Amino acid sequence: MRRSVNGSMEAMTSLKRILEVSNLQTHFSTDNGVVKAVDGVSFHIDRGETLAVVGESGSGKSVTSLSIMRLLEAPHGRIVGGSILLEGEDLVRKTEAEMRRVRGNDISMIFQEPMTSLNPVYTVGEQIAESIRIHQGKTPQQAMKRAVEMLDLVGISEPARRAKTFPHQMSGGMRQRVMIAIALSCNPKLLIADEPTTALDVTIQAQILELMRDLQREIGMSILFITHDLGVVAEIADRVVVMYAGRAVEEGSVLDIFARPRMPYTAGLMNSIPRIDRAAERQERLLAIVGNVPSPFSLPQGCSFHPRCGYVQERCKAAVPPLEDSGDGHMVRCVRWNELDLRQQRKSA
């Protein structure tokens, strides 16, 4: 919890703060036991800001976004603790009917695979118009007119004709534009984008990222961008939360995290990517992180990353390290952050 206790300060922060997630815990009950998919995650997003949540499979990044949308499949997935404040209102306590008004109106979401998110038997125009009708109470004619405007906004040429086509008649990049049109059709305050460009080619990814940046400038919504790709993070985010095995392990401004990673996992990820802009100084071998992403059923004791960490000490195995502020709001979950110079390792590596 990083909220100010000072009353007037709090009022000021809450004005610019769209989302405040505090100590979120989301568990899944399975035949093999309880999985703590999200285990005490806290972060915030300000107005007009883009926060990237980066992590590998099993890190809990997608479950975090589904928790915010309250889209977890009952009874298996449950939010068991923490709060999700959207402009001060706790989404965790809302009824299903109240949540339905939040989704689409206040928060909307786009996913990795646009084909599975679109209905194959309706035209894309009808699908955009549907959300406008439901959330804004427009007539079918008004809604369709707005749908065509939205297609134009997301850069689809001949929008009136395109509105009458079906999802299968479009390419992957075009479908993702339609998803963005649906998501933005009701002017949400927050857009959650869960790996929106992962299924796309790099040239199309570049188009979609550019579109998202342009739209954010125009509309001013905040973006929660979930990805595994540090290149995409560097390109789109203002701030970053790095997740590993259900916990946030590092958080900070994008410039700070890339220049001074303080958690060995973050530094390891950065080192393991072959970079086309550094081809000249390339190594004989890539600096891989050893071992595997841990199974959620048998998480290591203490720091979850310790079995793969090159800087591990006995104390790392004893207890889960706290998330500490290393200065300027750069948070890090590592008992050794003060003694390690991971930047040095990057250079000599």
Partner 1 sequence: MRMGTSHVRAGHSGHVAGRQASEQDNVLLDVRNLSKHFPTNGKLLSQSHASVKAVQDVSLHIKPGEVVGLVGESGSGKTTLGRTILRLAEPTAGEIVFDGVDITRLSNQEMRAYRRRMQIIFQDPFASLNPRFVVSDLIGEALDLHKLARGKARQDRIVELLELTGLSPDHMYRYPHEFSGGQRQRIGIARALAVNPQFIVADEPVSALDVSIQAQVVNLLQDLKEKLGLTLLFIAHDLGVVEYISDRVVVMYLGHVVEVAPAKELYRNPVHPYTEALLSAVPIPDPTVRRKRITLRGEIPSPINPPSGCVFRTRCPIATPECTKVVPPLEKVSPGHFKACIRR
Query: What is the C-alpha to C-alpha distance for residues 336 and 323, in angstroms, rounded to an integer?
Result: 12
273 binds partner 1 (CB under 8 A): yes
Query: What is the C-alpha to C-alpha distance for residues 77 and 335, in angstroms, rounded to an integer?
Result: 31
Phi, psi of 282 (to 5 degrees): -75, 155
Stretch that binds partner 1, among 86-94, 183-191, 270-278, 330-338 (CB under 8 A): 270-278
Q: Strands 77-86 and 247-253: what pairing?
A: unpaired
243 contacts 54 by C-beta, under 8 angstroms: yes
97 binds partner 1 (CB under 8 A): no
As measured in angstroms, the least distance from the Cβ of 154 to partner 1 is 14
The amino acid that residue 291 corresponds to is G
SS3 assignment for 46-96: ECCCEEEEECCCCCCHHHHHHHHHCCCCCCCEEEEEEEEEECCEEHHHCCH
**Residue 157: Cβ-neighbour burial (10 angstroms; 0-12, 13-18, 19+):** exposed
Which lies closer to partner 1 via its Cβ, residue 64 or residue 176?
176
Q: Which residues pair with 325 in a beta bridge?
A: 331
Number of residues located near partner 1, criterion CB under 8 A: 47
As measured in angstroms, the least distance from the Cβ of 340 to partner 1 is 18
- Here's the x/- map for partner 1, 151-190, by CB under 8 A: it reads as --------------------x-xx----------------
Element at 99 (helix H, strand E): helix 96-105
4 binds partner 1 (CB under 8 A): no
Looking only at residues 275 through 334 of this chain, which bind partner 1 when binding is defined by CB under 8 A? 275-277, 279-280, 282, 285-290, 292-293, 308
Of 88, 140, 220, 231, the one binding partner 1 by CB under 8 A = 231
Of 25, 40, 47, 56, the one binding partner 1 by CB under 8 A = 56
Of 235, 299, 311, 312, the one binding partner 1 by CB under 8 A = 235
As measured in angstroms, the least distance from the Cβ of 235 to partner 1 is 5
* Residue whose structure tokens are 């071992």: 291
119 binds partner 1 (CB under 8 A): no
Number of Cβ atoms within 10 Å of the Cβ of 226 = 25
214 binds partner 1 (CB under 8 A): no
SS3 assignment for 174-232: HHHHHHHHHHHCCCCCEEEEECCCCCCCHHHHHHHHHHHHHHHHHHCCEEEEEECCHHH
268 binds partner 1 (CB under 8 A): yes
As measured in angstroms, the least distance from the Cβ of 209 to partner 1 is 8
201 binds partner 1 (CB under 8 A): yes
207 binds partner 1 (CB under 8 A): yes
Stretch that binds partner 1, among 76-84, 101-109, 143-151, 222-230 (CB under 8 A): 222-230
* Residue whose structure tokens are 């993702």: 176
What does the DSSP 8-state code read for residue 30?
E
Both tokens of 128, joined, read 């955009």
Stretch that binds partner 1, among 19-27, 36-44, 207-215, 216-224 (CB under 8 A): 207-215
As measured in angstroms, the least distance from the Cβ of 303 to partner 1 is 16
Of 50, 62, 176, 205, the one binding partner 1 by CB under 8 A = 205
- Contact residues: partner 1, CB under 8 A: 56-57, 171, 173-174, 201-207, 209-210, 228-235, 254-255, 258-259, 268-270, 272-277, 279-280, 282, 285-290, 292-293, 308
